[in-house]
Structure formats: C-alpha cells, structure tokens
Amino acid sequence: MTGAPTAARDQPLIAIDVVPVSFAAGSGLRVATAPRQYAPYVGQEALPGVLLAPAERLADGARRALRSKAGIDAAAVRHLAQIGAFDGPERDPRSTAISVAFAAVVDPSAVGPGGGGAVDRPSSVWRLPDQGEPRLPFDHDTIIRAALEHVRTRIWRDLPLTRALLGEVFTSSDAAQLQTALTGTAPDPGNTNRALRTNPALVRADAPSSVAGRGGRPPVTWTWVD
Amino acid sequence: MTGAPTAARDQPLIAIDVVPVSFAAGSGLRVATAPRQYAPYVGQEALPGVLLAPAERLADGARRALRSKAGIDAAAVRHLAQIGAFDGPERDPRSTAISVAFAAVVDPSAVGPGGGGAVDRPSSVWRLPDQGEPRLPFDHDTIIRAALEHVRTRIWRDLPLTRALLGEVFTSSDAAQLQTALTGTAPDPGNTNRALRTNPALVRADAPSSVAGRGGRPPVTWTWVD
DNA sequence: ACAAAAGTGTTGGCGCTACACCCATGT
DNA sequence: ACATGGGTGTAGCGCCAACACTTTTGT
C-alpha cells in the first residue's frame, strides 16, 4: 500500500460477501442465501454481505455478515477462507464498490427453520450450487463459482478445510459423495478407500454408522487423529 | 456485497500493492521495489502501490502503480494476477487501510538504469526475494511471500504465468533454474528434460542458444506452440 | 419363515503415468 | 563442465474383478 499526500476520498465502498457452504450425507453440498433487507434487490435471495466497518478486520466482517444477514452464528462457522477481491462497474448499480469474498464452511444444521440459531435471526435457505435456477443479483454467481473452485482445488490438500466440510466423523460414502459434488464425476470407490486407509490424518472409528442405509453393506466410518 | 441503508463512510482506504516479479537466466528470480515518494517511510524501498481511484478497476490500479511508482510500463507487464486482500491494524501507521495485492510478471529489462522505460520514470531496483535483508515497510514482506507462494503453486499448471516468466524462447537450463529459485531445490535434469519433451505446449526451437555458455553441452531451446 | 435377489461397500490386482535417483553419452 | 537421453524403483491413480454385508423381494 501507499498513498498520495492527500488521501483521495470517494473511493469505492468495501463490501464483504460470504459464500456459506455446507456438506452433509443426506443433503449434499449446498450454498446458503438470504433475502436482502435493503435496496437494491429488496427481498431477492443473495449472498450475505455487509459493508466493512471502519476498524474491522476483513474476516470479522465476514463473520458479522453471516450473523446479521444469514443468522449463522460464529460457533457454526467451521472454516473461513478468503477467495479474493471482486470489482467491476456492473456489480452494483448504486455506487462503485469492491467486494472481498469469503467462503465459509458452516454446520449444515445452522440454516433453515429449526436450525440452531437464534429465534429472530434472518431466515436463510440452502440451495444446490449447480442449478442456481434463479440467478443471484450483483456478481454473486461469479463469487459462488470462485468459492467452489477454491474448495475444489483444495480438498484433501487443505486438511482443515476438508475436516470442516466432512465433519468430525464421516463415512467413505460421504467422502465419495463430496468428491462427486465438487468435481462432477464419481471417484473410483476402491481408490477412495485406499486413500482413506493410507491417510495418516485418519483413523477408523468403530461406530458402525447409527443411521441405517437403505440396503447394502454399511460403509466404514472415519475420524481425524488429534 | 450489500449494505445498510445509509452507507458508512470512514471505511478503510483501498490500496493496491504490486509485487513486480521477473526471471532471466543470468539474474534469476527477482522482485522489484522503488523508493517511497511520500510519507510515511519516505525514501525507503517498498512495493509500488497506489490508492484506488474512484472509478478504477483493481487491475488498472495495479498497472498504474507499476507505471507511476516503479516506472514499469504496461507493455512490459506480461502477466497480472491478484493475490488477495490484506488487512490488519499494523499494516499502516497513518490510517486503516486494506491492500489488494497483485503479482506482476514483467520483462526483466524494464527495471533499472538503461531499462526500456521513460527517461523520467521513478527508479526501481530488482532484488533477490529470499534474502530481503532490509525489511520492507508495512506488510510488504508478507505480501511478497504470498505472491511467491502464488507463483510456486501455479508454475507449469498456469501456462500463461509460466510463459510470462520464462519468455517466448528459453532453454532447459532456464526452466531448471526457475524451478530451483521457486522451490529451493534443484530438479533432476533428466526428469526436467522429459517433462519439457512431453509437454504438448512446447516445441523445440532450432536456435542453438546464441549466447555461449561457459563450457559444457549447450542446452536445448524451447518455444511455445501457437 | 426362509431363501434368493438386489443394492452397496470393501479389498486386492493390473497397468499406466509421474517422479526421484542413477549412469552412460554427447558437445 | 554441463546437458541429453535412457534406465530403474516407487507412489498414485484409473480400471477391473471378487468378496462381504445389508435390505428387499418372492414363495
């Protein structure tokens, strides 16, 4: 950074937009949106976002956006990663603004009616990322694509991210399903198993997966070594 | 992005900082800095940076920083990639500011006295990135580390980036030297040759490397297809 | 109730590619 | 000296086949 001697004000606004991502065996990979409370696009579903506060850290702004716009408490946020800064004249009709985007891996139960949040929190909904039928306002579709690309290129390389997505205990099927959701193609089950077996960060959990599947041999459950 | 109904001003300033990177056989991998013209840290070497102009795109701000602070013309910029947004209260003693950092691969001859720029451009100097003996102000050391990490993880995966670093024609030794500079360890010359030979984006150039090495078999020269 | 079928996951083998490491050859 | 070209061994992954465990279906 640097500056001319007199700081130029009238700079673009700094916005923080967050892509809440969750994964669970039953529901798959999902992205949360919440209806906008202010103009423009009032009532439309959009990513939770806020304007950066004067002395606020970027990551703190992301957490505030999750809390105030989507009702996702900080305790439900398992992982937070910056995606990048987005600009462009088309991204906001009001005034020029740049957006620093984050991807947030949150607990799957933290969204939707009956979730674990406060009673009066804004209602947010999970949606499947691929067929985002109703296009999102601003450049939020671009941001979601970038966030998913970020996750896709880091799965199994970034262990904290992977752990946040899969949770503390998960089955081989869960891992395969996550990979399928991210890459679009199902991995070979044999290779998936070998990878899980030889991964030094994982140990087999004896728990035989309480929930009964609809037929078939129950998958092995895994846990993370501490 | 989004916002409260009344836009909160007094937001942090938006700065653009650029890490100019170049690679050449003789000089290796280098990063350019320029002496600061304004307070704070007047006269100290730092990354070229500007405050984002009201209606300016982020990438345009990066090019303007290169031009006005380091004398690197847009024609000398071969590649421009965003690294991310940096914040933190310690990064600027004057006022809170965030910085959107870029890595710019520039022509090695575009910096230093006798370079290809204008006559009155600010003087910038190349430096080896590793032993940044004189610590840079702000969080510029962090930004340089992030930029080099960005390059390290994308070399040979991001073809435009690799092409910008190596140039249009290069030798096998150049490729090995670049890899050594990025990873710290020299790759096996046999594997490097195999990788170059089997890379469909490369073709052998007949030019037998005009500059005579100091003894030894001259390396093969390569060019990019199309 | 019992057996067969269908569904799902695990384990192992085979072949290809990539890479670390080595050595002989070319200039 | 220095680079090229080739060889060997290991790790990873795509692909395939056999086996194990569970639920569903048929009689």
- Stronger pLDDT, A226 or B14, i.e. the higher one: B14
Q: In which element (H, E) is residue B127 found?
A: strand B125-127
What is the spatial distance between Cα B133 and Cα B124, in angstroms, rounded to a whole number? 17
In this prediction, residues B189-195 reach a mean pLDDT of 94
Q: Which residues contact B217 (CB under 8 A, 6 or more apart)?
A: none
Q: Which residues of B touch A124 (CB under 8 A)?
A: none
Facing residue for B7 by CB, picked from A2, A8, A13:
A13
More confident residue, A7 or B225: B225
Whole-Å CA distances, A217 to A16, A180, A214: 45, 20, 10
Question: Where do you find CATH 3.90.79.10 in chain A?
Answer: 13-154
User: Angle, to 10 degrees, between the axis of helix A189-198 and the axis of helix A172-183?
Assistant: 120
Residues 30-69 of A with CB under 8 A from B: 36, 38-39, 46-55, 57-58, 65, 69
**Per-residue model confidence (pLDDT) at position B52:** 94
Using the predicted structure, report yes or no on whether residue B115 has a pLDDT greater than 80: no
Q: What pLDDT, on the 0 to 100 scale, is given for residue B60?
A: 96
Give B12's contacts in chain A (Cβ within 8 Å).
Answer: 14, 52, 54
Report d(CA A64, CA A20) in Å as an integer: 13
Distance from CA of A147 to the nearest CA of B (A): 13
Choice between B207 and B138, residue whose per-residue pLDDT is larger: B138
Highest mean pLDDT among B88-97, B113-122, B208-217: B88-97
- Among residues B66, B68, B139, the alpha carbon closest in space to that of B105 is found at B66
> What's the rounded mean pLDDT across residues A16-36?
93
The answer to whether B197 CB is within 7 Å of strand D is yes
User: Is the per-residue pLDDT at B209 higher than 60?
Assistant: no
Nearest CA in chain B to A5: B38
Between residues A38 and A133, which one has the greater pLDDT? A38
Q: Give the model's pLDDT for residue B5.
A: 44
CB-based contacts of A18, cutoff 8 Å, min separation 6: A47, A48, A49, A62, A65, A66, A70, A101, A102, A103, A104
* Proximity of residue A160 CB to strand D below 7 A: no
Cα distance between residue B91 and residue A58, in whole Å: 13
**Residue of A1, A51, A52, A100 to mutate when probing chain B, most B C-beta within 10 A:** A1
**What are the pLDDT digits (tens) for B75-103?**
999 999 999 999 977 776 666 899 999 99
- Between A9 and A124, whose confidence is greater? A124
Q: What is the mean pLDDT of residues A126-130?
A: 77
Mean pLDDT of A69-86: 96
More confident residue, A204 or B93: A204
What is chain A's mean pLDDT, rounded? 86
Task: Indicate yes or no: pTM above 0.85.
Answer: yes
pLDDT of residue A211: 66
Specify the DSSP class assigned to residue A93. Answer: S
Rounded to whole angstroms, how far apart are CA atoms B18 and B81? Answer: 10
More confident residue, B122 or B170: B170
- Is residue A84 predicted with pLDDT exceeding 60? yes
**Residue A210: what pLDDT?**
61
Least confidently predicted of A5-14, A180-189, B82-91: A5-14
Of the candidate ranges A27-36, A217-226, B14-23, B105-114, the one whose mean pLDDT is the lowest: B105-114
The answer to whether A85 contacts B82, with C-beta atoms less than 8 Å apart, is yes
Candidates B49, B54, B87; nearest CB to A2: B49
Residue B190 clears pLDDT 50, i.e. is over it = yes
- If pLDDT is split at 50, 70 and 90, which confidence band does B116 have? very low
Residue A59's closest chain B neighbor by CA?
Answer: B87
* Cα distances (Å, whole numbers) of residue A16 to A63, A86, A164, B52, B224: 10, 10, 21, 17, 40
**pLDDT band at residue A129, thresholds of 50, 70 and 90?**
confident
Q: Return the CATH architecture of domain A13-154.
A: Alpha-Beta Complex (3.90)
Residues of chain A contacting B2 with CB distance shorter than 8 Å? 15, 17, 36, 38, 46-51, 65, 69
**Beta bridge pairs of residue B19:** B103
pLDDT at B138: 84
Which one of A88-97, B27-36, B88-97 scores highest in mean pLDDT?
B27-36
Question: Is residue B72 predicted with pLDDT exceeding 60?
Answer: yes
The pLDDT of residue B120 is above 60: no
Query: What is the per-residue pLDDT for A182?
Result: 94
Please classify residue B134 by burial: count the beta carbons closer than 10 Å to its beta carbon, then call 0-12 exposed, 13-18 middle and 19+ buried. Answer: exposed
Shortest distance, CA A217 to any CA of chain B (angstroms): 40
Place of tokens 């300016």: B56
**Most confident of the ranges A17-26, B136-145, B209-218:** A17-26
Res B146: pLDDT:
95
The answer, yes or no, to whether residue A119 has pLDDT greater than 80, is no
How many angstroms is C1' of D19 away from CA of B38?
Answer: 74
Q: What is the pLDDT of residues B143-173, one digit of tens each?
A: 999 999 999 999 999 999 999 999 999 999 9
Q: Given CB atoms, is A80 within the 8 Å cutoff of chain B?
A: no
Segment B185-197 mean pLDDT: 94
Q: Band the pLDDT of B44: cuts 50, 70, 90.
A: confident
Q: Which nucleotide is nearest to B185 (CA to C1')?
A: C20
Interface of A with B in 158-177 (CB under 8 A): none
pLDDT for B2: 44
- Residue B153 contacts A where some CB pair is shorter than 8 Å: no
d(CA B178, C1' C27) / Å: 24
What pLDDT is attached to residue B212? 63
Residue ranges near strand C (C-beta within 7 Å):
A 171-173, 189-190, 192-194, 197, 213-220; B 187-191, 194-195, 198, 216-218
Q: What is the pLDDT of residue A3?
A: 42
* pLDDT at A78 exceeding the cut of 80: yes
